[in-house]
């Protein structure tokens, strides 16, 4: 970063707010230009201070973080990091926030408590990622979605309603459904930052012609993947569940890798194996699942690498392609962060680059020939 990035800190807890400010101010690349104790103050401070990034508390009096996010994104395009509670309800609310336009989130769990030094690294890492990826973010889409949904705020109508579906305004080309001889026996979808909503868009377009098991590997904390699977299940025609150790794969079912562990396959690729693996940076890891799928379905895996920071999925994609499997990657224009698809693209381990809008249709096309 060549210039100091301005951060607005929003949190109703004075103690936690002070802790967040202290962490940020220790890094010379960032400066805190102001703080707010609730959503209404956050909106006013955004207009006044013009920050480059916002850290947003989830639960606040008066106006909560989701309502504030929608209102801010209707005013201007800005990356927002949600600080969320690591509970079942907290996970559901965080998913609502991601759909409202929050770019990423950081759990407020015991490990990331105000007194924990772990929070220092985690927070700065998140800020680095968001600022670094800022030119790639679909801010126009977020602002457009917010404008469609913002109405006058009331305490009883501030939260996002699960029945609503916000459709992305991503420009897309029409897929040419070419016939081919490739019929995948298993599908693996990998994603990180920006992935929860990207995967959801794909899930909404999947239908019963996709009659093979589908594995989803999304970088996400342990207590978040269960609620995430439930949400996907409410949006997808196919059955969706969090993957369980020892469970046999079923055709036409979608399995979400549990957070904090690795999803692999055994018994000739017919059974799920959920493993502890402290040696890996990402848990779950896209690479680990792809490599395991390659062991059992060499030449018959369809891998989709979506938006995300880093290069997880690159090694697995290379190994898959060596055996004749197919790899689709999300294009830069529709990514929140182009890192993971770009890593695969740079080593040439892909077959097609598609917009998010096109990927679901392309998956189903493999089973219509």
- Candidate list 11, 12, 287, 312, residue with the active-site label: 312
- C-alpha span between 358 and 354 (Å, rounded): 6
- C-alpha span between 270 and 199 (Å, rounded): 24
- Candidate list 84, 133, 144, 192, residue with the active-site label: 192
CB 238 within 8 Å of CB 253 = yes
Read out DSSP for 148-217?
HH-----TTS-SPPTT--PPP----PPP-----S---SEEEEEE-TTHHHHHHHHHHH--TT--S-EEEE
312 is catalytic: yes
Residue 214: which residues within 8 A CB-CB, separation 6 or more? 186, 187, 188, 189, 206, 238, 253, 254, 255
- Candidate list 52, 133, 219, 253, residue with the active-site label: 219
- C-alpha span between 313 and 311 (Å, rounded): 6
Dihedral of alpha carbons 180, 182, 187, 189, sign: negative
22 is catalytic: no
Report the DSSP beta bridge partners of residue 328: 304, 352
104 is catalytic: no
Q: State the catalytic residues.
A: 192, 219, 312
């Amino acid at each position: 970063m060549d210039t100091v990035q301005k951060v607005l800190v929003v949190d109703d807890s004075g103690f936690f707010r002070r802790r967040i400010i202290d962490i940020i101010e220790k890094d010379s690349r960032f400066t805190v230009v102001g703080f707010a104790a609730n959503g209404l103050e956050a909106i006013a401070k955004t207009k006044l201070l013009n920050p480059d990034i916002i850290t947003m508390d989830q639960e606040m009096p008066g106006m909560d973080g989701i309502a504030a996010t929608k209102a801010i994104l209707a005013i201007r395009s800005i990356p927002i990091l949600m600080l969320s509670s690591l509970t079942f309800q907290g996970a559901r609310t965080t998913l609502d926030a991601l759909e409202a336009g929050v770019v990423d989130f950081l759990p407020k769990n015991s490990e990331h408590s105000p007194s924990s030094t772990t929070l220092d690294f985690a927070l700065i890492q998140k800020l680095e990622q968001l600022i670094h990826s800022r030119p790639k973010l679909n801010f126009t889409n977020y602002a457009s979605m917010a404008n469609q949904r913002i109405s006058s705020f009331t305490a009883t109508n501030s939260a996002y309603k699960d029945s609503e579906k916000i459709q992305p305004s991503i420009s897309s080309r029409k897929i040419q459904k070419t016939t081919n001889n490739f019929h995948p026996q298993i599908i693996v979808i990998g994603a990180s930052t920006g992935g929860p909503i990207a995967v959801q868009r794909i899930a909404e377009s999947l239908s019963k012609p996709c009659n093979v098991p589908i594995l989803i590997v999304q970088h996400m904390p342990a207590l978040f993947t269960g609620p995430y699977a439930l949400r996907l299940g409410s949006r997808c025609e196919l059955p969706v569940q969090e993957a369980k150790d020892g469970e046999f794969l079923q055709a036409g079912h979608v399995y979400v890798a549990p957070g904090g562990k690795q999803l692999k396959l055994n018994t000739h690729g017919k059974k799920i194996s959920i493993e502890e693996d402290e040696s890996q940076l990402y848990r779950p890891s896209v690479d680990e699942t792809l490599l395991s799928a390659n062991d059992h379905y060499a030449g018959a895996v369809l891998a989709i690498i979506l938006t995300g920071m880093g290069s997880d999925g690159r090694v697995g994609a290379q190994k898959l392609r060596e055996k004749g499997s197919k790899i689709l990657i999300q294009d830069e224009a529709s990514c929140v962060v182009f890192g993971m698809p770009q890593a695969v693209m740079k080593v040439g381990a892909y077959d097609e680059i598609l917009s998010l809008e096109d990927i679901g249709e392309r998956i189903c096309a493999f089973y219509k020939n």
